Structure 1
Amino acid sequence: MQTIDITDFYKIELRVGTITKAEVFGKTKKPAYKLWVDLGEFGIKKSSAQITDHYTTDELVGKQVVCVCNFKPRQIADFMSEILVTGFDDGSGKIVLATVDIPVPNGGKLH
């Protein structure tokens, strides 16, 4: 595992947001959803996420997730993904979202 300096970590804007809308993204090569995430003072940001194995669109709405907010936006088909919703491999290549276990204000920074 490569090590980094703490100043490198501080450069990453890891913030929490609440998924307000989720739709099936039919124009991707791999199954994915379009997500809209409320990041409080930073507004609603969009993300494309390959998380269809463990979640339905209905289950996602209202879920708080940890997001990388300062990557450059990325065009995926006809959708601009502005943030990266984070998660962990479940051991079989399927993603489980990184969430919080107690609700916190949207836009809060990970420390």
Structure 2
Amino acid sequence: MQTIDYSDFQRIELRVGTIERCEIFEKAKKPSFKLWINLGELGIKKSSAQITQVYHPKDLIGRQVLCVCNFPPKQIADFMSEVLVTGVNNEEGHVVLMSVDKPVPNGNRLY
């Protein structure tokens, strides 16, 4: 594993947001959802997430997630993904979202 300086970590804008809307992303090549995430002062940002094996759209509304907010936007089919929702693989190799264990204000940064 390559080590980095703390200043490298500080360059990554990892922020908490609340999923306010979720739809099945029918035009995506791989099964995905379209997410609209409230990131506080940053506003509502969109993301595409390949998490359909673990989650249902109605279960995601109101969930707080950890997002990388300073990657450039990425066009995925007809949808512009503005943030990256973070997650880790479970035993089956499906993505499980990273979240907080207690509610925090939207837009708060991970340090």
| % identical equivalent positions | 64
- What pairs with 1:32-47 in structure 2 (closer than 5 Å)? 32-47=32-47
* Superposition CA RMSD, Å: 0.5
Compute the TM-score of the two structures, normalised by the length of structure 1: 0.98
Q: 4+ residue runs of structure 1 moved beyond 4 angstroms?
A: none
Compute the TM-score of the two structures, normalised by the length of structure 2: 0.98
Give the gaps of 5 or more residues in structure 2.
Answer: none
- 1:17-72 deviation line (CA, Å, top 9, x unaligned): 00000000011111000000000011000000000011000000000000000000
Aligned length: 111
Give 1:102's aligned amino acid.
K
The CA distance in 1 between the partners of 2:39 and 2:15, in whole Å, is: 7
Give 1:34's aligned amino acid.
K
Deviation at 1:6, TM superposition (A): 0.6
Deviation at 1:2, TM superposition (A): 1.2
Question: Is 1:100 aligned with 2:100?
Answer: yes
